[in-house]
A and B are shown apart, each in its own frame.
Chain A
Amino acid sequence: MPASLRELRQRRQSVAATKKITRAMELIAASRIIKAQQAASAALPFTRELNRAVSALATHAEVDHPLITDAENPKRAALVMLTSDRGLAGAYSSNVIKMAQRVTERLHEDGLEVVRFPIGRKGISWLSFRGLPIEQSWEGFSDKPSYAHAHEIADRLIEGFLRPDDEGGYSAIYVVYTRMESMLSQVPRVRRILPLEVVEGVAPPSEDEILPIYEFEPDVETVLDDLLPLYIRNRVWFYLLQASASQLASQQKAMKSATDNAEQLIQELTREANQARQAEITQEISEIVGGAGALAESSESE
């Protein structure tokens, strides 16, 4: 007999318990995606207005700002990678890590040293397991980031960017995050946040549109000084929101397939258990029949 009836039933029960857990996690992830998506869309007006202001400044001023200018002789580059704090989200974190590895290789080919800023426990443990140096890390909010987190991260990144490369700074900042294309597809992406490419998103004015001539208060430089850090924080905020929504979507997908697998397993185990039960009954009957036959024979021979 392959497995006893009791063993099979036990296994089925444990799979059923697992299924309940994965099902619950699937539902939790599903409800939180909605919240994450709402947060992402609520942040849109700020991004839109900020982009408009930056474009206005870029078209008006002869922009020459440390956050925009490319370094002449870059030696180091920062790499921020947005992973999750917990597993059970399918290939979400490993996709980001793979992408980050490719970026690292490319930066090394360009002769740049890479300064690593992992966000999320998975990325941190991946780096520390391989003994790779971590400049600074953040964790604990991968599925529910707040603007204060974006504020803190962006300020730390800018501070390092403004320091010369020889004194522990870096000349470029790349971010690897996962973009939420839809519920079904989340794609890891690389973006350079600094130095800024101001031309991005500035559409040439159409013929009938007159560009407003802005007054600046107090002056262009000061406004730009105040605006750019805000812009960077907003970029980081955008990436955090995208990453959290993607993470929840991957988690939901992973948990859904775990639930489906559990269901299939339960079905198979139930069938096997039924077969085992039937076999036991058949054996018992044949034992009784055999025993009765033996008894009848022995009494006849007497």
Chain B
Amino acid sequence: MATFQLEVVSATRMVWEGHAERLIARTTEGDIGIMANHEPLLASLVPWAAEALAEDGRAEIFLVDGGFLSVAGNRVSLLSQYVQLGHEISLDEAEHELAAVKRIVDAGDADDEILHRYHRAKAQEAAARRYREANGE
């Protein structure tokens, strides 16, 4: 199957680099799937788990905290200030954080920062679940 060059980059390091068959990420407009030879694209992302199917058939989960997806000439880069790999996320911690923040949001006292944490925690939890599914745990 045709592949493309994928780079996942956070502000402080190169998180993942290699060839992938498919990438699914969530933009501000909704999920987008990228395959080889996609048209040039620059998209804004929301905090969510992006999923890539690597050349060797393994699924990789990247938790991005907003950022960008840029596609040009069969090169795809996923840019985000903070990126976590699937195995770096703890489901328990994510659920814990989500429950804590959700209480504030439900009570209606959420400011921008709390809302951001809420979205982040939701993304974290989803990413952790996806990672478990993908690895059959």
Are A214 and B72 closer than 8 Å at their CB atoms?
A: yes
Are B81 and A53 closer than 8 Å at their CB atoms?
A: no
Interface residues on B, range: 20 to 34
Binds B, one of A38-46, A85-93, A271-279, A289-297: A38-46
Are A215 and B42 closer than 8 Å at their CB atoms?
A: yes
* B93 interface contact, C-beta 8 A: no
- List chain A residues, Cβ under 8 A from B14: 42, 45
Cα A46 to Cα B42 with chains together (Å): 15
- List chain A residues, Cβ under 8 A from B28: 217-218, 222
- Picked from A39, A214, A237, the residue with its CB within 8 Å of the CB of B42 is A214
Are B79 and A226 closer than 8 Å at their CB atoms?
A: no
Are A217 and B27 closer than 8 Å at their CB atoms?
A: yes
Q: Given contacts A49-B77, A212-B73, A230-B81, is CB(A223)–CB(B10) below 8 Å?
A: no
Minimum C-beta distance from A92 to chain B (A): 24
Which residue from chain A places its CB closest to the CB of B17 in the assembled complex? A45
* A57 interface contact, C-beta 8 A: yes
Binds A, one of B62-70, B101-109, B123-131: B62-70
Residues 70-98 of chain B: 1 if any A CB is under 8 Å from the residue's CB, otherwise 0?
Answer: 10110001010110000000000000000
- Picked from A39, A56, A212, the residue with its CB within 8 Å of the CB of B12 is A39
- A-B pairs, top 4 by smallest CB distance, nearest first, are A212-B40, A217-B43, A42-B13, A214-B40
Taking Cβ atoms with an 8 Å cutoff, the residues of A that contact B are: 39, 42-43, 45-46, 49-50, 52-53, 56-57, 147, 150-151, 212-218, 222-223, 226-227, 230, 233-234, 237
New A-B contacts (11) at CB < 8 Å, excluding given A43-B13, A52-B70, A230-B68: A42-B12, A45-B7, A46-B79, A53-B68, A212-B73, A214-B72, A215-B39, A215-B42, A216-B42, A217-B44, A233-B11
